[in-house]
Chains A and B, each alone.
Chain A
Amino acid sequence: METLGLTINGEAVEVLIDPATTLQQFLHDNLGMTGTKEGCGAGLCGCCTVMVDGMAVKSCLVLALQVRGKSVQTIEGLAPEEILDPVQQAFIENGAIQCGYCSAGMIMSSKAYLQENPHPSESQVRHALSGNLCRCTGYHKIVKAVLSAGEK
């Protein structure tokens, strides 16, 4: 077991973990933060997307120990005190949600991208979200939601 200290959604956390734990397993299984889902587990679907020091990463392919001392943001951290993030609000307003399995990852990727480029074009949004799969195929409304969040 190894000691892991990091910040999750602004809160300092220190735990003992098995080195063979991915960041996704750590968040989902060890901490019970079930918003960060494992879809494919191979870095293809994007359901496990979280931000590390403001950058989108696939938490299923990152060892938890690799984010020692870093700041991790998950979907749970976007709406403290239940006030929704503008990106979440835009997803609701645009009906950019069907079964919901991909939503957390979609929103985290969108959030990271909008921080980098607050007013993207449609093709830029599609490129930025190419690593997030929606198996309901609801891409059109998701792109619309991100564009509308970018306008705010």
Chain B
Amino acid sequence: METMDTFKYFPTKTVNEACELLSQYGQEAKLLGGGQSLVNLMKQNLVMPSTIIDIKGLSDLDYIRYDKKDGLRIGALSTHRSVETSDVVKENFAMLAEMERTLASVAVRNWGTVGGSLAHADPASDLAATLLALHAQVTLTRSAGERVVSLDDFFVDYFETALQPDELLTEIHIPNSGRGNGFYYKFAQRATDLAVVSVAVYLVLDPDAQSRCQDIRIVMGSVGPTPLRSKRGEDLLKGQAITGALIEAAARVSAEDAQPTTDTNGSEEYKRELVHVLVTRSIKEAATRAAAP
């Protein structure tokens, strides 16, 4: 049986308390949300913190708020399950709720938190790819104050983020662009697996010419050190009338922009082909949804 090394354990009730402890124990401490990734790593002795700061009890950070102008704000300690079942999420960001249904299993989503999931920074993260497509930003809080970072700048490398040792991820914000719609496409071997390849597309149509793409994000998961955007693919479509040929061209450059590696899930070549197919289908579906009244 896998066992963990023991550690000092600090349960916290407030953000201030957590920040204080972080500034004191910073480097040697790990923040524990739902632990669905961290406890797993600790049991395998891949991470051996001497101090655990348990923030699961920060009920102040368990909220989902939506406002037409401001968009969607999700407290970092919200569970995946609460995002999945939230009516405002389903109504305004359907792809986010749909993505959650593909993320691990109900029991994991019941306990795992969205903030913890982002801070873990697995390049196969369903949540990360989807939020990146949705132009999300995160608030990072420390004793001395807070800063807002775009998710584009948050993921640094495999399991590495812009979070400093004394910072705590407190909020996810999706500024609502109003007219857009999107699609998350996950290709996995079994229902509860991590993605072999995943693609998230968010698309905004030109209000004056519904066949024209005003803005688009193409994000690919599991094919690089972080979720990757195909900016070349996005640029091909931005400002253009959406045609089959253009979607095909965008999918082709996306497959080139991906950085997959050969592993037990498949060869590099196979994964590039998957990117090609998934991007094609996702853009089509996102465009159909964005055009729907």
CB-defined contacts of B27 to chain A, threshold 8 Å: none
Residues 29-73 of B, flagged 1 when their CB comes within 8 A of A and 0 if not, give 000101110011011000000001010100000000000000000
Q: Are A62 and B111 in contact (CB under 8 A)?
A: yes
CA of A22 to CA of B108 in the docked complex: distance in angstroms? 15
Q: Are B40 and A42 in contact (CB under 8 A)?
A: yes
CB-defined contacts of A19 to chain B, threshold 8 Å: 6-9, 52
Of all chain A residues, which has the CB nearest B2?
A41
Q: Does A72 lie at the interface of the complex (its beta carbon under 8 Å from any beta carbon of B)?
A: no
Q: Are A130 and B107 in contact (CB under 8 A)?
A: no
Give the residue of A41, A44, A65, A109 whose beta carbon is less than 8 angstroms from that of B9: A65
CA of A46 to CA of B1 in the docked complex: distance in angstroms? 16
Chain A min CB distance to B264 (Å): 15
Give the interface size bracket for A toward B.
Answer: 20 to 34
CB-defined contacts of B2 to chain A, threshold 8 Å: 41
Q: Are B107 and A131 in contact (CB under 8 A)?
A: yes
Residues 120-141 of A, flagged 1 when their CB comes within 8 A of B and 0 if not, give 0000000110111000000000
Stretch at the interface among A7-15, A50-58, A87-95: A50-58
Q: Does B242 lie at the interface of the complex (its beta carbon under 8 Å from any beta carbon of A)?
A: no
CA of A135 to CA of B265 in the docked complex: distance in angstroms? 21
CA of A18 to CA of B111 in the docked complex: distance in angstroms? 21
Q: Does B162 lie at the interface of the complex (its beta carbon under 8 Å from any beta carbon of A)?
A: no
Residues of A1-34 at the interface with B, using a CB-CB cut-off of 8 Å, are 2, 18-20, 22, 25
Q: Are B39 and A22 in contact (CB under 8 A)?
A: yes
CA of A46 to CA of B107 in the docked complex: distance in angstroms? 8
Q: Are B192 and A44 in contact (CB under 8 A)?
A: yes
Q: Are A128 and B5 in contact (CB under 8 A)?
A: no
Chain B min CB distance to A39 (Å): 11
CA of A141 to CA of B182 in the docked complex: distance in angstroms? 37
Q: Are B108 and A20 in contact (CB under 8 A)?
A: no
Q: Are A63 and B192 in contact (CB under 8 A)?
A: no
Chain A min CB distance to B183 (Å): 19
CA of A105 to CA of B24 in the docked complex: distance in angstroms? 40
Known pairs A41-B2, A130-B192; A63 contacts B39 (CB<8 A): yes
The 3 closest A-B pairs by CB, nearest first: A131-B105, A19-B9, A20-B4
Name 8 A/B residue pairs within 8 A (Cβ), A-sorted: A2-B9, A19-B7, A41-B1, A43-B36, A57-B107, A58-B36, A58-B108, A132-B105
Which residues of chain A have a CB within 8 Å of any CB of chain B? 2, 18-20, 22, 25, 38, 41-44, 46, 49, 52, 55-58, 60-63, 65-66, 68, 109, 112-113, 127-128, 130-132
Given contacts A58-B108, A112-B106, 20 further A-B contacts (CB under 8 A): A19-B7, A20-B3, A20-B7, A25-B3, A41-B2, A43-B40, A43-B107, A43-B108, A44-B192, A49-B107, A58-B111, A61-B36, A61-B39, A61-B111, A62-B35, A65-B54, A66-B35, A109-B106, A131-B105, A131-B108
